[in-house]
Amino acid sequence: MDWGLANRMARILKPDTGRTVMLAVDHGYFLGPTSGLEEPGGTIAPLLPYADSLMLTRGVLRRTVPPEADVPIVLRVSGGTSILRELSAEGPTVDVEDAIRLNVSAIAMSIFVGAEGERTTLLNLAKAVDLGERHGIPVLAVTAVGKDMVRDARYLSLACRIAAEIGAHMVKTYHCDGFEEVVRSTPVPVVIAGGKKLPERDAIRLAWSAIRDGARGVDMGRNIFQSDCPVGMIRAVRAVVHEGADVEQAHQVYLREKGR
């Protein structure tokens, strides 16, 4: 791995623990003004001190994150679809030159294995990896799952392994029963998405289970910014990811912050 790419990877996977708490706030790219992100600037600001990196689109980045903020950026570079139509028809939305201009630490692109857009999104990932390798920018493959797809270990192992074989430097997927098998068969770091909002303790348990099963961190959005105490939730998740907290200890972190 060349120095620039390794340096950017180390900005995301914190060298002290080899893990990461990525805050995902990119949902608007196909969902529009998602609950909790109607005004992304106000949501992001109090969470910034606790995020190892921020996953978002360039539009929100430019308008809401101060350039002096010391937070690594994972830039979403795929889209072109909305919740109203076929989601798997995504294509590239950002030129790599703009990603470089924005000084990003990684780029993120969704793939839709088993969906109509499978071939196109996989070939788009391959192009993104070529560009990333050329410019020293790691690529996070996002294993997007359509409404009708089963999120089991067999399917997620397939999607994650294909992403890694194409050359993605990290993969984001979902936790599932048998997740350790997904991690074992994916030869690059795996992080999990949080998915739909859960009760806080359940979301903490999800993060804890993923770390137990070998995930290198989380790329979590709704379970943080839709919480009744987003700062409490991100601190609780940090405790799990970086400090080895169990579910109860981390839940106490959330409750203490909420009680302030």
The answer to whether 9 touches 191, Cβ cutoff 8 Å, is: no
The answer to whether 16 touches 242, Cβ cutoff 8 Å, is: yes
Among 136, 146, 195, 214, binds ligand R5P (CB under 6 A): 195
Q: Minimum CB separation from ligand R5P for residue 251, in Å?
A: 18
Q: Which is nearer to ligand R5P, 1 or 31 (CB)?
A: 31
3-class secondary structure, 219: strand
Among 8, 11, 19, 27, binds ligand R5P (CB under 6 A): 27
The b/e string for 226-250 (b: 16+ C-beta within 10 A; e otherwise) is: bbebbbbbbbbbbbbbbeebebeeb
Residue 52 is encoded by which pair of tokens?
């190892």
Contact between 58 and ligand R5P by CB under 6 A: the answer reads no
Separation CA 30–CA 67 (nearest Å)? 25
Q: Which stretch binds ligand R5P (CB under 6 A): 6-14, 20-28, 146-154, 236-244?
A: 20-28
Interface with ligand R5P in residues 133-152 (CB under 6 A): 142
- Per-residue contact track with ligand R5P, 153 to 192, x per CB under 6 A? ----------------------------------------
Residue 5 is encoded by which pair of tokens?
């790419």
Among 189, 194, 230, 232, binds ligand R5P (CB under 6 A): 194
Q: Which stretch binds ligand R5P (CB under 6 A): 116-124, 218-226, 236-244, 245-253?
A: 218-226
Neighbouring residues of 79: CB distance < 8 A, sequence distance ≥ 6: 29, 30, 57, 90, 91, 93
Task: Say whether 197 is catalytic.
Answer: no
Residue 117 is encoded by which pair of tokens?
């857009």
Contact between 222 and ligand R5P by CB under 6 A: the answer reads yes
Contact between 230 and ligand R5P by CB under 6 A: the answer reads no
User: 172, 196, 197, 258: which one is catalytic?
Assistant: 172
